Amino acid sequence: MACTFEKETIFFLQGNAQGTSYHITYISKDKIVSEKEIDSLLADIDASMSTWRPNSIISKINSNEKNVVIDTYFKTVFNKAVEVSEKTNGDFDISVGPLINAWGFGPTQKKSLNQNEVDSLLQLVNYKKVSIQDNNIIKEKPEIKIDFNAIAQGFSVDVLAAFLEKKGIENYLVELGGEIKAKGKKEQEKWKVGIEQPDAENTSERKLQAILNLDNRALATSGNYRKFYKEGNQKFSHIINPKTGYPAKHNLLSTTVIANDAITADAYATAFMVMGLQKAIAFVEKNKALNLEVYFIYDENGKWKTYISPGLIKQIEKT
């Protein structure tokens, strides 16, 4: 699909991947990127780090197969995850896999958990117990399982963006599962992206909370309303606190993070959901070198309120 614009054409690509969909818009004189190329890149990423594929590198590592050699994709994501874990003092942790599975958000069957079982699983959660040696992953305990789902989609967006740039494309927007990276402009304007209102009932209807101009940056959103299940009157979020072993529970409903790349935005969006509102705001203010902007939606006595970092306010257009 395409439409012409000042001798250049706006091209649109879309498809399904990683349990969600992707949408790519780029501006070029010719169609120089195809869905087939995008699908191939995403398949390579899945072959490296999808816990839903039994033959992926990460699944083989989690199953303790011998002599599993990691690829460049895996190493990049692992190293970034460790960097974010260290910055957040463990509020982000890719070794949370056993808890993800136990709570029913992984590829294995959900378990019924009591406090003792949660405490037992917590003994396996510590990113410092996993390391890279000579392109192999070393785990201190065989029961440790790695889960990249809080960072892999952001990384995938960066891979697709780098592919477009390698083709000489200077104006594009890449979106995968709500994670976005934009460069350049569309019709002489900065790319505009929407921030969704949290949807407590997980309906198909999507209402926008705000629209912002994305200027050569990446955006990711995490929210406890996006993936959850109910048991009785209790709602269980897919975002697991690696320190308590339980789904993150506080008044922060949604975290949108803008960063220089999508892998960074994705990881910190999850970390901030674990931290909670005040701790997340303090983190952003303290770590200005990370160049993060945030848009938080939170519940205060039953009313939704927002926190917008000062540097982002001028980029916001209210809906």
- What confidence tens digit (pLDDT) does each residue in 94-126 have? 999 888 878 777 666 666 677 888 888 989 999
Residue 243 lies in a domain: no
pLDDT exceeds 90 at position 84: yes
- What confidence tens digit (pLDDT) does each residue in 124-148 have? 999 999 999 999 999 999 999 999 9
72 annotated binding-site participant: no
Residue 25 lies in a domain: no
What does the pLDDT read at residue 60? 97
Residue 224 lies in a domain: no
- What confidence tens digit (pLDDT) does each residue in 214-253 have? 989 999 998 765 544 444 444 445 688 999 888 877 788 8
Which tokens belong to 247?
Answer: 């789904």
Which tokens belong to 67?
Answer: 């002599």
Burial profile 24-36: b = 16 or more Cβ within 10 angstroms, e = fewer: bbbbbeeeebeee
Residue 78 lies in a domain: yes
- Provide mean pLDDT across the span 261-267: 98
Residue 232 lies in a domain: no
Which CATH number fits the domain that encloses residue 123?
Answer: 1.10.3980.10
- Provide mean pLDDT across the span 203-217: 78
Distances in Å between the Cα of 184 and the Cα atoms of 173, 213, 217, 253 are 9, 11, 10, 31
What does the pLDDT read at residue 318? 67
What does the pLDDT read at residue 228? 41
Residue 181 lies in a domain: no
The DSSP secondary structure of 29-75, one letter per residue, reads SS----HHHHHHHHHHHHHHH-TTSTTSHHHHHHTT-TTPPP-HHHH
Residue 126 lies in a domain: yes
44 annotated binding-site participant: no
Which tokens belong to 1?
Answer: 């699909």
Domain containing 60 equals 55-139
The total of structural domains in the chain comes to 1
108 annotated binding-site participant: no
Residue 166 lies in a domain: no
